[in-house]
Amino acid sequence: MPISIKQFRRFVDGIPWARVYKKAETATKGQRIYPSKSNDKKANFRIDKGAKISENEHELVLQANKDAENAEVKKSAQKDSHKILAKCVIDPQNVDEQKANLQSNTAPDPSLLARAKHALLQQNALIPTRSTPLPTLLAARSILEAGAQLSIRARDPQSFVRYYSQLQPFYDYAELQKHQPSQSRSKITGLYLLLLLSQGDYAGFHTLLESLIVSEGQGESTATATTTTVESDPYIKYPIEIERSLMEGSYDQVWRKTSGRDVPGDEFALFSEILINTIRLEIASCAARSYPSLPITSAKNLLFLDSEGAVSQFARDQGWELRDGRIYFPIVLEDGKSKDGDAALERELVSHVVGYARELETIV
């Protein structure tokens, strides 16, 4: 006896839909579907070519088959992504291998990290949620941390900032941190603090430091940071001490800390180099305003450069004049123009102030 679509759906309840609909897909308009005589739930289905099936029923069968195929594809993709995540959790050995490739000036193979990130997308694991399995979240965090560290070794600060931003939801996810705290969090956070210093973003630096202290339940201001467990972490302590030396104007201490044993890891060298270059430019600007000229030998020590040749190159880059073993700053060579420029700025400022006073008087 032929069965209707509703009966057909009830009969195959619990049977893998892809198998059922694949068999039913061949049903054309004007045919009905018969179940086989077997009582086995996994039984196949046969089609009686003499039976009738309506157009709507035929469309339902085809649509159901399409949905089943999509579900099978999605299920297969999830299985594949689970396998990829299992293989692509970057461990320290893999990171060291990528580092060796970078140091030898050979292009590292980015396929492993790229496939891992694609798998994260398929698993909807780029943002931690309760519906995502904990092992998947741990793998996602490890992959993003590896990407952040490889970005540093590739000397790509912009990429590092992106990875740092992607990692914050994982670090703030209490259940994940409770289950297995990250071993790389303090290093990545310390690197980001040093990046903020190298960019001159002191407000961002102190905001992040305050959030770290609050999260540890210690103190209420950076003034008490010395007594907190935050500063006991060597990766966090390093940028804190650098910032203090900068605020004191002790650039020689900054130089010693960034070039000595105080550096907690090789990854900190990139931002330390950027920071020293920023400091060098500030010192050069102050020197140009304070002295008419400087001996090259004195400038070498003042600017933390390794040789007199490096001093000469730096001076040429700044547009300074080198003559008789000395550096002559433009403010001396163009003193008249500089004064005229300052006078023009003063006149413009007075003009603006007078204009504002007149507008206020008009309003009153």
Beta bridge partners of 295: 326
pLDDT tens for 246-293 read: 888 888 888 888 877 778 888 888 888 888 888 888 888 888 888 888
Q: Which pLDDT score is estimated for 162? A: 92
Give the distance between the most distant pair of CA atoms in the chain.
Answer: 111
**Domain 89-181 grouped into CATH 1.25.40.990:** yes
Strand, helix or coil for residue 286: helix
Q: Which pLDDT score is estimated for 188? A: 94
CA distance 110 to 99: 12
With contact defined as beta carbons under 8 Å apart, do 294 and 303 qualify? no
Q: Which pLDDT score is estimated for 100? A: 45
Report CA Rg, the chain. 34
**Domain 184-290 grouped into CATH 1.10.3720.10:** no
pLDDT-flagged residues of the chain (< 50)? 1-3, 8, 11-53, 73-74, 76-108, 218-227, 332-341
Q: What is the DSSP secondary structure assignment for residue 27, as one 8-state letter? A: P
Residue of 134, 143, 128 lying closest to 184 (CA atoms): 143
CA distance 294 to 109: 49
Q: Which two tokens stand for residue 340?
A: 């005229």
CA distance 227 to 208: 17
The answer for 90, left when phi > 0, alpha when psi is -120 to 50, beta otherwise, is: beta
